[in-house]
């Protein structure tokens, strides 16, 4: 019974772990969907600006996570969820 639980958690972790990574095409589609939900229209400068802002907002956050990982630290403001 114990082995069955362990295998279940390993399988669940593998499944959920695969869900967190997005290809650049999937990320672009998600960003475009977000901008379209704001009311921007396809093939306009406004949509391009929206997509650019989303992308630029992502850069500093990624840099913070990379630096914290390299130093073995948690990013400022990060609080792990505990049950």
Looking at per-residue pLDDT, the higher value among 21 and 12 belongs to 21
Looking at per-residue pLDDT, the higher value among 66 and 27 belongs to 27
Distance CA 4, CA 10 (A): 10
Distance CA 69, CA 58 (A): 17
Judged against a pLDDT cut of 60, whether residue 76 lies above it is answered with no
Q: What pLDDT is attached to residue 70?
A: 65
Q: What pLDDT is attached to residue 61?
A: 66
Distance CA 70, CA 28 (A): 27
The pTM for the full model equals 0.51
**35-56 confidence digits (pLDDT tens):** 999 999 999 999 999 999 998 8
As a whole number of angstroms, the longest Cα–Cα distance in the chain is: 59
User: Does residue 41 come out as left (phi exceeding 0), alpha (psi in the -120 to 50 range) or beta?
Assistant: beta
Sign of CA dihedral 47, 28, 20, 16: positive
Judged against a pLDDT cut of 90, whether residue 69 lies above it is answered with no
Closest CA to 33 of 25, 62, 57: 25
Q: Would you kindly state where each structural domain of the chain is located, as residue ranges?
A: 34-72
């Amino acid at each position: 019974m114990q082995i069955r639980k362990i295998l279940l958690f390993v399988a669940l972790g593998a499944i959920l772990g695969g869900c967190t990574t997005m290809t650049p095409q999937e990320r672009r589609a998600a960003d475009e969907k977000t901008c379209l939900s704001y009311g921007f229209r396809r093939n306009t400068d406004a949509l391009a600006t929206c997509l650019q802002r989303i992308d630029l907002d992502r850069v500093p956050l990624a840099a913070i996570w990379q630096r914290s990982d390299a130093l073995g630290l948690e990013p400022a403001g990060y609080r792990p969820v505990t049950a």
